[in-house]
Amino acid sequence: MPSKSIDHAFTARTNVGAAGDPTYAGALSFMRRRYTKNVKGADAIVWGIPFDAAVTNRPGARFGPQAIRRAAAIFDNDPQYPFDRDLFADLAVVDYGDCLLDNGNHQKTPATIEREAKKLLKSGAFLVSLGGDHFVTWPLLKAHAERHGPLALVQFDAHQDTWFDDGKRIDHGSFVARAVRDGVIDPGRSIQIGIRSHAPEDCGIRIMYGYEIDEMRAADIAYQIAERTAGRKAYITFDIDCLDPAFAPGTGTPVAGGPSSAKMLSVLRQLGQLDVVGADIVEVSPPYDHADITAIAGATVAQHYLGLVAERRARG
């Protein structure tokens, strides 16, 4: 029997190196990374935000971080596809656990998330956030923009999320309009991929509709993203409902006619030229999932984020 370990999330002595846990057992941190509140020396931090009080349809995304971590156990210790490398040979990654939110006072939620994100970003590490509904991206954008300036938003989604917003709403369908209005993102350098709905405003953001990307190769979509962001520091937000419900049934607002997980993951794989400073995966809702299809897709999106960070680090 090959050498194995167990509960690497707790027993690991460093933040680098592969785990040896069986895929069916052991503590379920994201990709078996060490659970710790000490982020000193970390190159990347994985953080859960279990919040879904802003949904307009089906709740359940508060269980998203748990499901994504559980699904991440399927990644074994061979070189990670499609990056053909042990992502953690030189990349120090920790699982910071979840954000503690007051479930009885949702008005405190944005400030709580933003404050914690700012603290994590001070370490200089790349932050991968696991939602939660899409409202959590609003305070995350604010925290990243304070550090980097107005961001190019790269949004994979079935919805524009540019509905009316009075600046106080706790709503996953209006945060993009707020981010444009408050100067947190630069709409002239922002792009939405996979949109299959209409909102009253596009806020000047480039929209790639579902049927449009259906006719395109993944490489051409990636080219359009790179051309639009034009070197600006970018933040990637991936709403799992960007995918067709066949590939992501476990989400609150599914929309038919979307792309496959294979196609969108291929697009992500080809975004290494972007100056990405942060990323999230949101709207995974396990109560509506089947055989962890959606959770596996969400975990793979997050794995691709770390793969891009590992490649960038290797390039120096």
CB atoms within 10 A of CB 7: 16
Distance separating alpha carbons of residues 285 and 118, to the nearest angstrom: 26
161 marked ligand binding residue: yes
Note if the pTM is more than 0.85: yes
Of 256, 260, 247, nearest to 216 (Cα)?
260
Q: How many residues does the chain have?
A: 316
Question: What DSSP line would sit under 261-314, residue for residue?
Answer: HHHHHHHHHT-TTS-EEEEEEE---GGG-STTHHHHHHHHHHHHHHHHHHHHHH
Is it the case that residue 137 has pLDDT exceeding 80?
yes
Q: For residue 171, give both structure tokens.
A: 């709503």
Give the contacts of 316 (CB within 8 A, at least 6 positions apart): none
What tens digit of pLDDT does each residue of 168-224 get? 888 888 999 999 999 999 999 999 999 999 999 999 999 999 999 999 999 999 999
* Secondary structure of 126-195 in HEC code, one letter for each residue: EEEEEECCHHHHHHHHHHHHHHHCCEEEEEECCCCCCCCCCCCCCCCCCHHHHHHHCCCECHHHCEEEEE
Q: Which residues on neighbouring strands pair with residue 94, listed in sequence order? A: 34, 45
pLDDT at 284: 98
Asked if residue 148 belongs to a known ligand binding site, the reply is no
Model pLDDT, residue 84: 92
DSSP state of 240: G
Alpha-carbon distance 189 to 261, whole Å? 25
Q: What are phi and psi of 53, to 5 degrees?
A: -80, 0
Model confidence over 211-264: pLDDT tens digits?
999 999 999 999 999 999 999 999 999 999 999 999 999 999 999 999 999 999
Edge-to-edge strands of the sheet including 126-131? 34-35, 93-98, 44-49, 126-131, 276-282, 234-239, 152-156, 191-195, 206-209
Is 214 known as a binding-site position? no
CA neighbor of 125 nearest in space, from 147, 141, 110, 142: 147
Mean pLDDT confidence for 59-88: 92
159 assigned ligand-binding residue: yes
Per-residue model confidence as pLDDT tens digits over 110-135: 999 999 999 999 999 999 999 999 99
Residue 78 has pLDDT above 80, yes or no: no
| Domains of the chain, start order | 8-315 (3.40.800.10)
Those residues whose C-beta lies under 8 Å from the C-beta of residue 266, and which sit 6 or more positions away, are 218, 219
What lies within 8 Å, CB to CB, of 196 at 6+ separation is 158, 159, 209, 210, 255, 256, 257, 258
H/E stretch holding 66 reads: helix 64-72
Q: Which helix (H) or strand (E) element contains residue 213? A: helix 210-214
Which has the closest alpha carbon to 237: 212, 268, 210? Answer: 268
The model's confidence at residue 18, banded by pLDDT at 50, 70 and 90, is confident
Residue 157 marked as a ligand binder: yes
User: Is pLDDT of 81 > 90?
Assistant: yes
Q: Is 239 annotated as a binding residue?
A: yes
Place of tokens 């979509």: 221
How high is the pLDDT of residue 75? 87
Is residue 2 pLDDT above 80, yes or no?
no
Integer Cα distance of 177 and 307 in angstroms:
30
Measure Cα distances from 286 to 100, 283, 292, 295 in Å. 20, 9, 8, 7
